[in-house]
Amino acid sequence: MTKIFPYKYDIEDLDNGLRLITVKTGYPNLIALYIVVRAGSRNEIEPGKSGFAHLFEHLMFRGTDRFSSEQYDEILKNAGADHNAYTADDRTVYHVVFSSEDLEQMMMIEADRFQNLKVPIDLFKTETRAVLGEYNKNASSPLTRLLEVTRDTAFTTHTYKHTTMGFIRDIENMPNMYEYSLEFFDRYYRPENTTIIVAGDVGSESVLPLVNKYWGSWQRGVYTAVVPAEPAQNSPRHAHIDWPTPTLPWVIVAYKGPAYSDRRKDMPVMDLISHLGFSESSDLYQRLVIREQKVDILMPLFEDHQDPFLVMVAARVKDPADIHGVSDHIISTFDSFKKAEVPGERLEGVKSHMRYDFALRLDNSQAIAAALAPYVALAGEPETVNRLFDTYAGIDPSDVQHMANKYFDISRSTIVTLCHTGK
């Protein structure tokens, strides 16, 4: 079968542990530089110190002795570069898209901030207050709160218990943890935790010398995080959120799911079930959203993670009286995969759709780098995408039924509801 990721790439590992992946896309003029740091909220292992991976997404734009934040922004502006960053549970990703003639300058300023970030305590306190403001803004969303409580309820030990933003009590205390912030940066912002992806009409023969020049002296670290394993869940868990203002009710049904793997069938089967059971083409969606109109949002959330995470389905319900009935329908849909094999033709149709959808998104250098970044954080190389889609191709109806029985036990479930009581 033709590889789903069709672009040639080179991988070079520097002596300090930094990995460079150069993807020659053939798309002219623009280059996408994605810097993947394998440090996310998963790495926040000390109690009382959640949210620091996300905080550093902010702090990394605060400048160095060589380039202030204003000078950094001015360089990017003059180059017409587009830049941003995001934090997830297993990674933090910094990205910039620019004209090919600016490659060396961009390599230089990015290397400078990764190796020489300097945030005075007053700017640190300012940024922590900004993060608190961001948390409070996000907390005004019922879905954000629903996901936060679901994770807090489903996990007892693993750091997936808290979201990328962190616990509110920790965020409120962040201004007092300047010294710890220096320790966090020293631990995780190291070359062995970092992969540079360069995608564009450029080859490694042009990129590698620049990476050696500007990143080669970056010192390898010595710290390894020991992430606590989550113990087995043996009984269902429930939580309810009384929302203070009028809103449509929500329900989320979650089961403990598998970690990402491109060779084992567990998570790839979950991906297929997400489409088969809960996408817009699914029977459940057609019933609850289209025909009965009891639900206006039905949202599967089956996300790849480094460690075993959750497979979740969230629904926004129009009438509070229907919330438990909708929850039962979601559970019944999960159970249906345990009881009978899915039709082979339908399974093949979903596989084909997923393959086509992924390939369709690879239509420019930035999209290619963006698509690779999560997989590189999880598996270290682009080839994981090809292995993953080969695994999808080998899944048959009996595999789906087997994995459903393995994971969709009600004792491994967490159900959270949210509604406004009007009291």
Reply yes or no on whether the pLDDT at 423 is more than 70. no
Rounded-to-integer distance, Cα 403 and Cα 273, Å: 10
Rounded-to-integer distance, Cα 95 and Cα 217, Å: 22
The confidence score (pLDDT) of residue 198 equals: 98
User: Which amino acid would we find at residue 354?
Assistant: M
pTM of the model: 0.95
Rounded-to-integer distance, Cα 131 and Cα 133, Å: 5
Rounded-to-integer distance, Cα 196 and Cα 369, Å: 10
Helix/strand number for the chain, H first, E second: 15, 11
Rounded-to-integer distance, Cα 247 and Cα 414, Å: 22
Residue 61 per-residue DSSP state: T
DSSP letter string, 76-143: HHHHT-EEEEEE-SS-EEEEEEEEGGGHHHHHHHHHHHHHHB---HHHHHHHHHHHHHHHHHHTTSHH
- What number is the average pLDDT over the span 290-301? 98
DSSP-derived 3-state class of residue 20: strand
- In this structure, CATH architecture of domain 8-215: 2-Layer Sandwich (3.30)
Percent of the chain with pLDDT over 70: 99
Beta-bridge mates of residue 355 = none
Beta-bridge mates of residue 21 = 11, 197
The confidence score (pLDDT) of residue 2 equals: 81
Pick the CATH number of 237-419 from 3.40.980.10, 1.25.40.10, 3.30.830.10, 1.10.3720.10: 3.30.830.10
Structure tokens at 251: 């329900």
- What number is the average pLDDT over the span 355-364? 95
Percent of the chain with pLDDT over 90: 98
Please list the residue range(s) of the chain that carry CATH number 3.30.830.10: 8-215, 237-419
Reply yes or no on whether the pLDDT at 216 is more than 90. yes
